[in-house]
Chain A
Amino acid sequence: GQQLNQSPQSMFIQEGEDVSMNCTSSSIFNTWLWYKQDPGEGPVLLIALYKAGELTSNGRLTAQFGITRKDSFLNISASIPSDVGIYFCAGPRGAGNMLTFGGGTRLMVKP
């Protein structure tokens, strides 16, 4: 079954607002990844986190790898309409470099 829980499931915000979403797990992950899926496309990797406590930024995006290695959050500052999409967290499991994905957070931005 699904091991990563994302919240919130959806968000509807005003352009310019900051956004925060998170991902939790009952299991420890040694790597956390955040992907974004634009409508009608496949997910694209945004940020990868490899160390507990790590804080990484990519433009207006900031992600942190939780100290317990069981959670991660993603923040988006000053949202713009092109931030619309579904954001997935993911972590590796098992052999074959397999990733397990969370259920996603759907972000909608009102201009």
Chain B
Amino acid sequence: DAGITQSPRHKVTETGTPVTLRCHQTENHRYMYWYRQDPGHGLRLIHYSYGVKDTDKGEVSDGYSVSRSKTEDFLLTLESATSSQTSVYFCATLVGAYGYTFGSGTRLTVV
């Protein structure tokens, strides 16, 4: 969707290094979400935000932190990357009641 940009699109990093993924939206949506997608597991929620500086954990939050200092940006940080965090990460914003709009994803490989 043109209103959500994720960066980078691809990243390879080494085990133990910190990594930050960025989600930028231009639509001024209040709610933003980070999901990870793995084969057989569908999409699982990592963290979400319901406003500037307001965030909460999802079902797979261990090893991840988030920050939202501006409405338009939601950052996901892997504090010390592990191979189990190799995944495709999607950011989403909420439009209406449950209409999520997703970004195009970031493919992260931890070697």
Contact = CB atoms under 8 A, between A and B. Distances in A.
- B interface: dominant SS: strand
A2 interface: yes
Interface in A46-96: 48, 88, 90, 92, 95-96
B42 A2 contact: yes
Which range contains the number of B residues in contact with the other chain? 20 to 34
Contacts, number: 64
Interface string A1-21: 110101001000000000000
A102 B48 contact: no
A42 B98 contact: no
Which range contains the number of A residues in contact with the other chain? 20 to 34
Given A96-B48, A97-B94, A43 B99 contact: no
Interface of A: 1-2, 4, 6, 9, 31, 33, 35, 40-45, 48, 88, 90, 92, 95-104
8 contacts: A2-B44, A9-B40, A41-B105, A43-B100, A48-B98, A96-B56, A101-B43, A103-B40
